[in-house]
Amino acid sequence: MRKSQKEIAESSRSISRRGLMLGVIQAAVVSVMGLKLRSMQIEHADEYRLLSDGNSINIRLLPPARGLILDRNGTIIAGNEQNYRVTLTREEAGDVSAVIARLRRIIPMSDRQAAEILEEIRKRSAVTPVMVADRLTWPEFSSIALNAPALPGVTPESGLSRSYPRAGDFAHVLGYVGPVSDYDLSKIENPDPVLRLPEFQLGKVGMEAKLEEALRGKAGARRVEVNSAGREMRELSRIEGQQGATVQTTLDAGLQNFATQRLGNESAAAVVMDVTNGDILAISSSPVFDPNMFVRGISGPDYRILMQHDHRPLADKTVQGAYPPGSTFKMVTLLAGLEAGVINPGSRFYCPGYTQVAGRKFHCWSRGGHGTVDAVQSLERSCDVYYYELAQRVGIDRIAEMARKLGIGVRHELPMSAITEGIAPDRAWKMARYQQEWQVGDSLNASIGQGYVLASPLQLAVMASRLATGRAVEPRLVRSIDGVVQPVPEWPELGINPLHLRTARAGMDAVMNGSHGTARRMRIIAPEWQMAGKTGTSQVRNITAAERARGVIKNEQLPWDRRDHALFVCFAPFDMPRYAVSVVVEHGGGGSAVAAPVARDILLYALAGGLPPLSAYPDGERAKVEEMWSKMNLMPTPAPSPGTERAKA
């Protein structure tokens, strides 16, 4: 059937439209191809030309700068310093032995070091850079850069390395960083690729380890061109890493430095807490060590010296040490008895110098006894017999319950390593631990902080803070992270009768200021800073009946490791408590003679915001204190450093 003229015209128009659309598509395809060809031939011509000559483009990670750690005033206590180093990549080096031989002509390297580097290169992936030299001088670094054509696979790098400007002051609380080991990687399920960078460092212990993820930051990357010999030709692009978070602690650098120097070379620990919010202002373990040695790679002999030292400088005694608290525990037993209703503040017991239970004598520290004493006097004179009698009435389970309420036998969560829980023993604990029944003698020993009872200096500071405030204050170390302030909870009431707390505080006040106070000589006479405290002396050996009969051997006549521990806890001002301090001196002897003066001086420094006026001390103490200060080399606390807070985008 013939088509009409109208149909023929419509068919022609349809064909024309299709042809036009097809032409447009073809033109678009040709245009895109043309633009791509132009890009390849003109804009990226050099890149493709070099690739055709055997060059390649590698992506290399850039380690991020580790986050800063500051004290409460903005002083840097863990920072970063410039570090010149050299790495070698096996895939790019070719003959690794020959490259190292040429490198040894430029920088000093022993045969042993060269062998260790070759072994490390052999173990690592061919594309993984391995550290060859670290902490180079500028002349050494520049010489390597100038000789780069003869050193294929060798990359000189300028980076940052961790540094601790306050050296040993914060060694135990901050810890230190070190190279990532195979063991470290095995503990991480999906390790960050940046951890495989040569000599990348991560936190090993202390806050550095506990806050590792926040402090580490995020890696950057650079796109580099290397030739067929493995030598880097040029950097094509770079994206810098993101610095780790800035962590501001609650610590005060000046107070920490003073506490560390005041402890001296003793095997000791001191903790200072703000009782109003739980801030730890100082937490010092002695003797100290320099964490910078670990960052730079501590030598075998230096490490053995630290490990073999009888005062254990690597141990953090503030949170890891667990000691019999001695008479500093008596406030726990007293409050347990008052709360249970078995005594009241006026209840009195007679002390003839001992208590006899089941044919065994439990002696008071005063051989002649204290006569009849009430609750306040029992603390003032530190009468052991009062607590022997009380323990038989109140029972160990109530004592243990009160101990935990005051913070002993409880693990306090802080970003520090190996925090001990201590021991607040009860009947169930002994059965679970030793499969033995609790005995009356166990209760008598526990009532004066001996026997199975163990507490850390941190726990003793928490106990003093809770006695001072009547609240369940918890310690804290982190004030802010990247400027975001960490909230302080409203600490709940302990649920202890206020009258009973006032009785315990009155006893602690009498220890310092009463006519028979065991630490009266160490009191603070400035009325606005009046201190309440409690001495403690804990035995580390048994005294036999025969020794007691002929006279107990004095501490100074015993080997150091068999002497008593000296302890002291305190808070001030008495009327409006602000700070609490605990001090433990291992094998130091008497708490009143050894630990109390250390705690008093540290507490006064905190109250005064620096060295206190000599007028705060009793007359007989001033000359000795002034002489002690003259021998100290106190580090000034600088003003907050500009730029310590990371810039916000």
Determine contact, residues 71/78, Cβ cutoff 8 Å. no
For 545, residues 6+ apart whose C-beta sits below 8 A from its C-beta are none
pTM score, whole prediction: 0.82
Average pLDDT, the chain: 86
Q: Residue 59: beta bridge partners?
A: 223
Domain residues of the chain, as ranges?
Answer: 58-92+102-249, 253-286+319-631
Pick from 65, 505, 454: which is nearest to 244 by CA?
Answer: 65
Mean pLDDT of 253-279: 96
Distance CA(327)–CA(319), nearest Å, equals 20
Tokens 């935990």 correspond to 404
Distance CA(524)–CA(236), nearest Å, equals 68
Distance CA(581)–CA(602), nearest Å, equals 8
| Domain 58-92+102-249: CATH architecture, name and number where available | Alpha-Beta Complex (3.90)
pLDDT digits (tens, 9 = 90+) for 98-141: 888 888 888 888 888 888 888 878 877 776 777 777 777 778 87
pLDDT at 341 over 80: yes
Res 101: pLDDT: 84
Pair type for strands 69-70 and 247-249: parallel
- Asked whether the domain spanning 253-286+319-631 has the same topology as the one spanning 58-92+102-249, the reply is no
Distance CA(380)–CA(516), nearest Å, equals 6
Distance CA(333)–CA(379), nearest Å, equals 11
Determine contact, residues 442/451, Cβ cutoff 8 Å. yes
pLDDT at 460 over 60: yes
3-state secondary structure 199-226: CCEEEEEHHHHHCHHHHHCECEEEEEEE
Mean pLDDT of 485-514: 96
Res 54: pLDDT: 47
Q: What are phi and psi of 155, to 5 degrees?
A: -125, 110
Q: Residue 239: beta bridge partners?
A: 221
Res 238: pLDDT: 76
Top pLDDT among 639 and 420 is at 420
Mean pLDDT of 544-550: 58
Say what angle helices 330-340 and 440-447 make with each other, to 10 degrees.
120
pLDDT at 646 over 60: no
Determine contact, residues 432/537, Cβ cutoff 8 Å. no
CATH of 253-286+319-631, one of 3.40.50.300, 3.40.710.10, 3.40.50.800, 3.40.50.410: 3.40.710.10
